Amino acid sequence: MNIVYTVRSDSPQAPPLTRLIDLPLGLDVWQVKADHVVLRAAEEQAVRLRQMGYTTEEVVETEAHVARFATAEAIAAYHSVETLEHDLRRLAESQPEIAELREIGRSVEDRPIWALRIGERRDSEHKLLFMGCHHAREWVSVEVAYLLAEHLVGNADQAPVSQWLQRGEIWVAPMVNPDGHEYSRTQERLWRKNRRSNVDGSIGVDPNRNYGYMWGTLNINTSSHVPSDETYVGPRAFSEPETRAVRNLVARELFRGVITYHSFSQLILYPWGYTSQPIPDASDLSTMTKLAKRMQQLIRGVHGLTYTPQQSSQLYPTAGDTTDWTYGEYGIPSFTIELRPDSVQNGGFILPPEQIQPTFEENLPAAREFIKRIL
Ligand SMILES: [Zn+2]
């Protein structure tokens, strides 16, 4: 897995790019565009892809990419497990009337998974959930969720935030996968999964393939039953304590909507991921597609960047992801937002730290619109 390649299907004998995703080749797919796929692979895997008829172009060696972007300064600018807990605790203590830090579960390595509950009423039916960091290497997803919590607590006295917090509750869980994040911070920057020891000796289940709606119904590159693969779905639905923590929280609080932040590629994704069919309920589909388009406009209005709205499976098929489950099980508006940057050349999973704040700034009006419409 040491080189990042762009793969194209531009020769007459090459199979289509969708075929590349469908095959269980154990590739680490980073980005899917209309005319190319960016993935991390070993040289032997690239040879195999060329034998199949694909064109592969080396973008960068993984080691060089990490060395360029994951500088000590860049690492220090992001939260660790420890500093996140500290800052969440500080936020809760700054406004104890409305903010409360809750442990929603523990990870494989027994780290607490934290959620900040923000709102005055505890018996309200108006609740929303924001999450970050199902995938360890997607650090900016922690920061956007955390800064949203900070924004809500800091503006608790000002309308419309004050009205929202009177009406209901907003829960923010910035780091669903703390073990993976810590491993990514200290051992291997591009680590993706959790830190489960698998039966074959490999490590890690992909938490965003482990949810219980249509779980395990695909066995492809982007949703794999091979334990050593980056998108390993796990031995069964909700086999992982991280996804069980979210399952139990959602089952208890009965949220009206969910946004889960990931990176990268700048996309606004809505269900389904497991099939190319649209969701059958026309009214729900209309709600989500309209809201996705509105969020795109609001995001673009801040710094001019484009986040593309699309059905999740248009990116690539996945079974067992968070939003298929929250929509499939509870019928609530559910979005996966893929944050900055737009490309590997601009950092890929390792977003330069000076872009944390602008990424939050452009996502704030979209998050506020989601709260305004759905809470
Ligand atoms: Zn992700």
Q: What is the pLDDT of residue 20?
A: 86
Q: From ligand 1's centre to the CA of 193, what distance in Å?
A: 9
Cα–ligand 1 centroid distance for 339 (angstroms): 10
Q: What is the pLDDT of residue 43?
A: 93
Please report how many Cα atoms fall inside a 13 Å half-sphere around the Cα of residue 183, on the Cβ side: 20
Q: 164 alpha carbon to ligand 1 midpoint, in Å?
A: 29
Task: Tell me the DSSP string of 53-66.
Answer: T-EEEEEEEHHHHH
- pLDDT tens track of the chain, all 375 residues? 699 999 999 888 888 888 888 887 889 999 999 899 999 999 999 999 999 999 999 999 999 999 999 999 999 999 999 999 999 999 999 999 999 999 999 999 999 999 999 999 778 899 999 999 999 999 999 999 999 999 999 999 999 999 999 999 999 999 999 999 999 999 999 999 999 999 999 999 999 999 999 999 998 888 899 999 999 999 999 999 999 999 999 999 999 999 999 999 999 999 999 999 999 999 999 999 999 999 999 999 999 999 999 999 988 889 999 999 999 999 999 999 999 999 999 999 999 999 999 999 999 999 999 999 999
The DSSP annotation for 331-352 comes to: ---EEEEEES-SSTTTTTTS--
Dump pLDDT digits (tens) for 290-323. Answer: 999 999 999 999 999 999 999 999 888 899 999 9
260 - beta bridge partners?
131, 336
Give the mean pLDDT of the chain.
96
Ligand 1 centroid vs 39 CA: distance in angstroms? 14
Q: Which of 120, 338, 362, 369 is catalytic?
A: 338
pTM of the model: 0.97
pLDDT digits (tens, 9 = 90+) for 98-145: 999 999 999 999 999 999 999 997 788 999 999 999 999 999 999 999
Determine phi and psi for 244, rounding to 5 degrees. Answer: -65, -35
pLDDT, position 316: 85
| Ligand 1 center from residue 362 Cα (angstroms) | 19
CA of 13 to the centre of ligand 1 (A): 32
Do 190 and 137 meet the contact criterion of CB atoms below 8 Å apart?
Answer: yes
Separation of 105 CA from ligand 1 center, angstroms? Answer: 20
- Catalytic residue at 338? yes
Residues around the ion ligand 1 (C-beta < 5 A): 135, 138, 262
Looking at residue 315, what is its pLDDT?
84
